[in-house]
Structure 1
C-alpha cells in the first residue's frame, strides 16, 4: 500500500523504533478506515471490493456474515475497526487459529479494510437460545458485568466486539479461552472478567446474548 510504504520510509529516516513505526502505521490505517466509513462513496467502493474478496470467508462465516457453524463467530454488523484489528492480531500471532492465522497473512491491508467494511454492513441475525431457562439470568449478568464495554444491547463499540446474536457455542468457547489465559502473557481485561465467571454464568450469558 503506497501510504504505508511512505510512512515506513519516513519513520526509518526519522530513526523511530520498529514498535513505534508499527504503531504509527496502525494509527494511519485506522484513520483511513474511519474516513472510508464516514464517506458514502468510499464506503460503497470498499463494500463492493470486499464483496469480491469474501468468497473464502463465506464458507465458514456465511456470505452475509452470519456463521454457518455454531463454533464460529458471526461477522455481520461487527464494527469494522474491531474486524480489522483481529486481522492484525491473527497476522502477527497475538491471536492464533489454524485457518485465520494463515489467511490473515495472505491479505493486503486494503483487502483487510474492504472485508471489514463489507461484513460491518451486513445484518446480524439473532438465534434461538439453547437454554431459554437461563436467558433472564444471562441478561442480568450481562448488564452488570459486560454492558459497560459492549453496550446495553451488546452491539459493541469501535474495538469492542458486538456480542449480540453470536452463536452460543462460540461465546462459551471464547469466554473459557479468556478464563484459561495466563495474565502474565496476555493483557486483555477479559481475563479478569472471565476468571470470576462460573460455568453456569458462562452458559447463562451465552443463552441470553445469542437471542439478541
Structure 2
C-alpha cells in the first residue's frame, strides 16, 4: 500500500490548528504500519458519502468539485475541522463535516491522500496555459510549491478541475463571505478573469 510517511512526518509541526488528540493519532499511525492500514480501511468505509461527489478514489465526478486524491492529509484534516466549526462554509460540507468524528477525519484524510490522481486529457488553450504558468510562478509558488504540489497546510492544486479552480479563485477575488479569513482573499483581489482562467488551465494540466 502506498504510504505518505514523508508527508506525515513533515506535517507534524503544522498541526497546531488541529487538536492534541489528532496530533497523537497521526503520530501513532505513522509509527505503526498495522494501525495505518487499519485507518486506511476505516477511511475507505467512511467515504461512502464523500464518493458520491469526490469519487471513491478521490477523483471528482463533477468538474466543479475538487479532487481529493493525493491531497495533503493534514490539509484535508484541517479543512474538515474548518467546515465542522463553521469557519469555512459550503452547502454540502458544512452539513457533513460535523457528523465526522475526529477519528473519521484522520482516517478519511489518510485514505484520500493515498489515492492516485488521474491526469486530465481535455484540450488545452496554449495561450491561456502559458499566461497561467507565468502568474503561478510569479505569485503562488511560495505557498503551493513550485509544481503546485502543496505544502503541509496548503492544498495541492496540480490536477484540480479547471472549473473548480475558476470558481474557487473567483470567490476569493470577489470576497465571498464563505471564504472570510483566508489569506487568498487578498492575494486574489486583483486577479482579472483572464488571469483566473489562465491559472485554471495551467493547474489542471500540471502533473508533478
Match of 1:13 in 2: none
List per-residue Cα deviations over 1:115-168 (Å, max 9, x = no partner).
110000001122135642211111111111111110111110111000000000
Cα shift at 1:25: 6.4
Give the match's secondary structure for 1:195: coil
Q: In the TM superposition, what are the counterparts of 1:20-169 in structure 2 within 5 Å?
A: 26-37=19-30, 39-129=32-122, 131-133=124-126, 134-169=128-163
Greater CA drift, 115-124 or 174-183: 174-183
Give the match's secondary structure for 1:98: coil
Between the aligned partners of 1:97 and 1:152, the Cα distance in structure 2 is 29
Between the aligned partners of 1:144 and 1:24, the Cα distance in structure 2 is 28
Question: Structure 1 residues 145 and 31 mapped into 2: Cα distance closer, same or farther (>3 Å)?
Answer: farther
Match of 1:14 in 2: none
Structure 1 or 2, whichever has the larger Rg, is 1
What TM-score comes out, normalization by structure 2 length? Answer: 0.84
Between the aligned partners of 1:201 and 1:65, the Cα distance in structure 2 is 27
Q: In the TM superposition, what are the counterparts of 1:180-195 in structure 2 within 5 Å?
A: 180-181=174-175, 186-195=180-189
Give the match's secondary structure for 1:159: coil
Q: Is the 8 A contact 1:126 1:164 kept in 2?
A: no
Q: Is the 8 A contact 2:82 2:88 kept in 1?
A: yes
Between the aligned partners of 1:194 and 1:49, the Cα distance in structure 2 is 37
Give the match's secondary structure for 1:210: helix
Q: Is the 8 A contact 2:18 2:78 kept in 1?
A: no
Structural RMSD (CA)? 2.0
